[in-house]
Amino acid sequence: MTTLTWERVAVATGPGEDPETAVRQAYREAGLAEPEHVLVLPSPAAGAVAAAWLTGGDAVRRALEQAGLGAPQDRSPSEGGSPTGSPSGDGSSTGSASGSGSAAQEPGDQGVPELRRAVGEALRSWESYGDPGRSVRDAVRTVPWERARAAAYAELGPVGWAALWDETGGRLWPQVSRLVNDIRRGIADLGGEAGEAVKVGEAGEVGEVLRRATLDAVLGQHDAPWLSAFDGLDGLKRTAERTGWWWPFERLAIVTERPAELHLDDVGRLHRAVGPALAYSDGFALHAWHGMPVPADFGAAMRELTVERIREEENAELRRAMLEHFGLDRYLAESGAKPVHSDETGVLWRVDLSDDEPLVMVEVVNSTPEPDGTSRTYFLRVPPWVERAREGVAWTFGVAEEDYRPERET
């Protein structure tokens, strides 16, 4: 597979075909017995909750329950239909907690309640089998990575290895690592949003328990950067092509699906004006504006932005996103901003913003006429320490004010 193909794997959406077969192959290639059971869940958030529930002990389970996550104890598996992932006749079990059955979304129910149902159904189907066993992540993922890297380094040498990485994983890693960190943050935030920072004794808050659970995951499609650098590793590559994050234990593999929706800006950051930038079928979602986390209703509110609403926003980062969407030049015009300096190069404007640096812009007129004979006006944002229009224009060209003496402006 080419690096371009691995780029597509890293951002693929929708359920993959037969993830269980790929996971079992990864176990075999690691020299392990295949897992007795495979549970397929709709999102890495559901996977983290399930992994924490199965391995965290009674204190963690009680805290997850208190936070509205985990397997509810007030319903038997037989209520509402057969549990997802019920054992099959051949002794293996594959469950999918999304799409239909008792895990389907009900009117008015979204987000955490839906995720809780998905996890609950899957966990009830597993609990009769007991302990999932110890994590085998090191054997499945870490050891193959170390072995493949050592072999490539021995063959290519330090310079050759660096060149290989630059051409493969090094190109993919910045975007993918940002996405991984965003998902990890969103999963940790579930602890606070659902349970108002429920404590788990000395283990800390639920959010921290869930964050630690994500560190035990194999990243599936988000392992694309390092997998793109090596030959072989067929089992891991097949899981990357078909799954999201997954948790390998001795007796059980918890596998999660890829997102249902993924929206990125032109530099690969999560971004969507209205609706979630990243969404999974169980309701777990992240909202973002050019990579910055925003509230779920932020995009809809952007449609009705006013100068007053922007001024009232207490969060400086959200205010900057609002300004970007509203338009800096429009904000200057509608906010009653006053010019603080003008000369032959342009006009310097300044607007103070509460709990943030002031908005300072230089207004310039393009000396080259448009085809219709008019001259176009531009507003260029400059640092807040700029005091003169020429100083601001010079800064945009990367020179000092005294060195800015253009023969002809364009």
* Percentage of residues in the chain having pLDDT higher than 70: 79
**DSSP SS3 for 75:** coil
Residue 194 confidence (pLDDT): 45
The secondary structure of 239-262 as a DSSP string is HHHH-S-EEEBSSEEEEEPPPSEE
Residue bearing the bigger pLDDT, 88 or 259: 259
Please compute the mean of the pLDDT values over residues 161-168 and round it to a whole number: 92
Residue 273 confidence (pLDDT): 79
Q: How far is CA 216 from the centre of its chain?
A: 17
Rounded Cα gap, residues 142 and 145, in angstroms: 5
Buried b (16+ CB within 10 A) or exposed e, 57-80: eeebbebbbbbbbbbeeeeebeee
Q: Which of 197-201, 246-250, 350-354 has the highest mean pLDDT?
A: 246-250
Asked whether the predicted pLDDT for residue 179 surpasses 50, the reply is yes
Residue 204 confidence (pLDDT): 55
Give the burial class of 23: count Cβ atoms within 10 A of its Cβ; 0-12 exposed, 13-18 middle, 19 or more buried. buried
Rounded Cα gap, residues 12 and 168, in angstroms: 18
Asked whether the predicted pLDDT for residue 318 surpasses 90, the reply is no
- Residues 6+ away with beta carbon under 8 Å from 74: none
Residue 310 confidence (pLDDT): 78
Please compute the mean of the pLDDT values over residues 376-391 and round it to a whole number: 84
Residue bearing the bigger pLDDT, 111 or 30: 30
- Given pLDDT bands bounded at 50, 70 and 90, which one contains residue 64? confident
Asked whether the predicted pLDDT for residue 270 surpasses 70, the reply is yes
**DSSP SS3 for 229:** coil
Residue bearing the bigger pLDDT, 309 or 178: 178
Residue 196 confidence (pLDDT): 46
Q: Whole-prediction pTM value?
A: 0.71
Buried b (16+ CB within 10 A) or exposed e, 152-174: beeeeeeeebeebbeebbbbbbe
Asked whether the predicted pLDDT for residue 409 surpasses 60, the reply is no
The secondary structure of 304-339 as a DSSP string is T--HHHHHH---HHHHHHHHHHH-HHHHHHHTT-EE
Rounded Cα gap, residues 133 and 251, in angstroms: 6
Q: Which of 6-10, 77-81, 170-174, 222-226 shows the lowest per-residue confidence on average (mean pLDDT)?
A: 77-81
Rounded Cα gap, residues 194 and 327, in angstroms: 35
| 187, 43 contact by CB (below 8 A) | no
Residue bearing the bigger pLDDT, 42 or 327: 42
Q: Which of 16-20, 190-194, 246-250, 307-311 shows the lowest per-residue confidence on average (mean pLDDT)?
A: 190-194
Residue 100 confidence (pLDDT): 31
Rounded Cα gap, residues 242 and 15, in angstroms: 7
Residue bearing the bigger pLDDT, 111 or 335: 335
Residue 355 confidence (pLDDT): 73
| 18, 242 contact by CB (below 8 A) | yes
| 328, 337 contact by CB (below 8 A) | no
Residue 368 confidence (pLDDT): 66
- Residues 6+ away with beta carbon under 8 Å from 393: 345, 346, 362, 364, 380, 404
pLDDT digits (tens, 9 = 90+) for 1-43: 676 789 999 999 999 999 999 999 999 999 999 999 998 999 9
| 256, 119 contact by CB (below 8 A) | no
